[in-house]
Chain A
Amino acid sequence: MTTAVEIRGVSKSFGETNAVVDLDLNVPTGSLCGFLGPNGAGKSTTIRMLMSIIHADKGSVQVLDTTALKAKDRIGYLPEERGVYRKMKVGGFVEYIGKLKGVRGSILRKRINDWLERVELPGIQNRRCEELSKGMQQKVQFLAAIIHEPELIILDEPFAGLDPVNARVIGKIINELHQQGRTILFSTHVLPQAEQICDRIIMIDQGKKVLDGTVGSIQDQFDPRVIRVEPVDHTCDLSNISGASQIANTSKGKHLLMRLEDNAEATEVLRQIVQSTPVRGIEIVKPTLDEVFIEQVARRRGHEAALQVREEMSHA
């Protein structure tokens, strides 16, 4: 398996703040890799080092089998803080970025027209960027990131600020690019989003890697602590079950989610539930990435910090 990104022992600090600490990570070629972590985890700093916008204090960064600097034109990048030249026309802006990435103008013009059709913005080449809505501007920025047909695409929070319709359009294109064999590194702090579309996950917290693997393998590593019950009587009371507490209703109240307490035996709790009320179905569900991440934070920084991260993520 070849790697598109290989980071070895990289650290980066800004003054007293250690943004990235001794980080090692590999992104396999052709993967759609989620780069996850809460705000301030060090994701954007790592990505900026991959783009050679900033340089590591120590360690090595290899991108597409060469240095990050030499690979610059082969990478597409949609930064978290994105913008356009307000007075420039859409076609001119995308063409400018494409030229900076080394593509000739004549090729670009046709490509821009095709791509504007694909992102459902046909015929806006001659409109000024300032005339577009925020969502349209974001699609134009996405286009500028991929117009040079890069081998590696780095998307920092690509769905932030997009309405569901536009998010679906961009999500579909990301999938298509992945199908074509391009490597996609997708950074987000919205973990369920990554869980849905990524085949590989890298999680970092406080500048350090805490998890790395496929979604399934990560979920398998963790002891499942949630039981999903579908009772026959939806009004049944399960509060007397010892070793678990109800955390949520799902599917319009048809399912109940119960969290196992730390020392509880899953089989014992299952037995108690089945004895207390008739059920149509009962299962121990795999942990979500949110839960896995919070578990990791709890292990590294304690329960107080984990609760705080859970709070932050629920508001994100």
Chain B
Amino acid sequence: MHKTLVVAWREFRHTAMTKAFLIGAIIMPLLMMGLFIIVMPLMMEANTTPLTGTVAIIAPVDVIEEFQSRIESNENPNAQLIDQLPDVVTQDPLASAMLNQPIQNNTNIVLQPSTVENIETLKDDVRDGKVAALIVVPDTLLGKFASDSDEQLEVLIPSSFSPNHTDLLSSAVSKSVVDVRLRRLGHEPSAMHAMVKRPRVAATRLANDGGEKADNEAARRIIPMAFMMLLWIATFTSGNYLLTTTIEEKGNKVMEVLLSAVSPLQLLGGKILGQAGVSLIMLLMYGGAAMAGLVTFALLDLIPVSHLLYLVAYFTMAYFMIASIMAAVGSAVTELRDAQSLIGPIMIILIIPLALWPVLSEHPNGLVATITSFTPPLIPFVMILRITASTEAIAAWQILLSMAIGFIAVLGMIWACARVFRIGVLMQGKPPSFLQLLRWIKQG
């Protein structure tokens, strides 16, 4: 065991305590997250930079008044967007928190009512920057059958004008036109808007045990995918490291020196254990960042503790499956490009849970989900998806059976891969075919 630990420590140290790992696996993702955290508020800030200056407007008086009152009000700039978004987004706590931010008055403009005779002079003023913008609302837009007209209102702006401010003016003036139309027909706009607004739907799931639980559609779709991707990234990244370090040891011809000191099984065990540490770091880092995000938005209650415990169990299962496959493939080839032909078919199998994600998250207790839950090596990925996607608890017997089959499969895969490893590490030259690998398992 001592030798296995010595190998494990070297494997861990020379993977996780290197500049390449620190930069590629830790600093870059943190930098990207940091940039996101810094850039997003800056983008929001840019959104709320006040529009200042004089805006010339050629329009009927009632439109000008409506426009004036609208730009002075504290209307949520996302209100229209929220109306258009489906419930699945607007009812999500995270999306809601972002869309309904505190609203600030985005404008500090002086309206300059004008007449159509001055339009050319005003255009020059816009070009020269004396006037921030020119709005032209033709009378015909307010007629009884205005909706049939092709006529448009115009917003004339200088070439350097902010797109956000363009949207702001366009939105405010077009809404003002609609409100004036309603008023001219004798209706109170706010009452009409309230009337046509779609009511929200509150979906509540009634559990068999008599309990009720508010449904969170977005969380139900996104969180399972996040759990599965976390498992994927953590296990495949370290699996890839295992593949490359094994190939490196063969390529550098250091393998025979190692095998003069340790048995192939001790070497394999040490390498897998060492990379398990690397994988755990990835899991904790990315998982921790996700949890920190949930804590920030007070959404931690979306993830029960039991899900984290299942994550640990299925992570262990997934890691040992992937690691043993990668080590076996690494031992069988002498160059990374030769490994691709052997890894390819394995990857196709392991991509199945990703491809089935929509089906599995929609029907976490369906036939496909149940069958793939007991099919190695898909078990850990499918089960973590099912457990986190299902609104009802997955039957205990299914969880226990999946764990039993999964961990027996892990033992079997380690056994088979160890046999491949034992023969493969001393082989040089042409990479073996799949059939040869099977023969090695038989011989080993």
Residues in A lying within 8 Å of B, measured CB to CB: 48, 51-54, 69, 72-73, 75, 77, 79, 81-88, 96-97, 99-102, 141, 144-145
- 10 tightest Cβ-Cβ pairs between the two chains A and B: A83-B253, A100-B261, A77-B260, A83-B252, A83-B254, A79-B256, A81-B253, A53-B259, A51-B260, A99-B6
Supply 7 A–B pairs (Cβ within 8 Å), ascending by A: A72-B260, A73-B261, A81-B256, A85-B14, A97-B258, A100-B262, A102-B2
A84 partner residues in chain B, CB cutoff 8 A:
252, 254
Cβ of B3 under 8 Å from chain A: yes
A-B contacts at CB below 8 angstroms, number: 60
Cβ of B7 under 8 Å from chain A: yes
Tell me whether B252 and A86 are in contact (CB under 8 A).
yes
Question: Residue A141 contacts which of B10, B255, B257, B261 (CB distance < 8 angstroms)?
Answer: B257
Select from chain A the residue with minimum beta-carbon distance to B266.
A100
Tell me whether A97 and B261 are in contact (CB under 8 A).
yes
Tell me whether B257 and A83 are in contact (CB under 8 A).
yes
Q: Tell me how far the C-beta of B336 lies from the nearest C-beta in chain A, rounded to whole angstroms.
A: 15
Q: Tell me how far the C-beta of B81 lies from the nearest C-beta in chain A, rounded to whole angstroms.
A: 52
Cβ of B426 under 8 Å from chain A: yes
How far, in whole Å, are A145 and B253 apart by their CA atoms in the complex?
A: 14
How many B residues face the partner with a CB closer than 8 A? 21
8 more contacts with CB within 8 A, not counting A87-B14, A96-B10, are: A77-B257, A79-B256, A81-B256, A83-B253, A85-B248, A86-B252, A100-B258, A145-B257
Select from chain B the residue with minimum beta-carbon distance to A141.
B257
How far, in whole Å, are A270 and B252 apart by their CA atoms in the complex?
A: 56
A88 with B257, Cβ < 8 A, contacts A99-B6, A100-B6 known: no
Tell me whether B426 and A54 are in contact (CB under 8 A).
yes
Tell me whether A100 and B3 are in contact (CB under 8 A).
yes
Question: Residue A85 contacts which of B7, B252, B261 (CB distance < 8 angstroms)?
Answer: B252
A51 partner residues in chain B, CB cutoff 8 A:
259-260
How far, in whole Å, are A83 and B259 apart by their CA atoms in the complex?
A: 12
A86 partner residues in chain B, CB cutoff 8 A:
252
Within 8 A of A (CB), among B180-211: none
How far, in whole Å, are A101 and B2 apart by their CA atoms in the complex?
A: 10
How far, in whole Å, are A69 and B264 apart by their CA atoms in the complex?
A: 12
B259 partner residues in chain A, CB cutoff 8 A:
51, 53
How far, in whole Å, are A108 and B203 apart by their CA atoms in the complex?
A: 69
Q: Tell me how far the C-beta of A178 lies from the nearest C-beta in chain B, rounded to whole angstroms.
A: 20
Q: Tell me how far the C-beta of B414 lies from the nearest C-beta in chain A, rounded to whole angstroms.
A: 21
How far, in whole Å, are A52 and B256 apart by their CA atoms in the complex?
A: 11
Q: Most chain-A CB neighbours within 10 Å: which of B7, B248, B259? A: B259
A79 with B260, Cβ < 8 A, contacts A53-B426, A99-B6, A100-B7 known: yes
B249 partner residues in chain A, CB cutoff 8 A:
85
Select from chain B the residue with minimum beta-carbon distance to A129.
B252
B2 partner residues in chain A, CB cutoff 8 A:
102
B260 partner residues in chain A, CB cutoff 8 A:
51, 53, 72, 75, 77, 79
Within 8 A of A (CB), among B262-281: 262-263
Q: Most chain-A CB neighbours within 10 Å: which of B256, B260, B262? A: B260
B7 partner residues in chain A, CB cutoff 8 A:
100
Tell me whether A82 and B426 are in contact (CB under 8 A).
no
How far, in whole Å, are A34 and B10 apart by their CA atoms in the complex?
A: 35
Q: Tell me how far the C-beta of A144 lies from the nearest C-beta in chain B, rounded to whole angstroms.
A: 7
Select from chain A the residue with minimum beta-carbon distance to B254.
A83
A87 partner residues in chain B, CB cutoff 8 A:
14
How far, in whole Å, are A164 and B3 apart by their CA atoms in the complex?
A: 37
How far, in whole Å, are A79 and B252 apart by their CA atoms in the complex?
A: 13
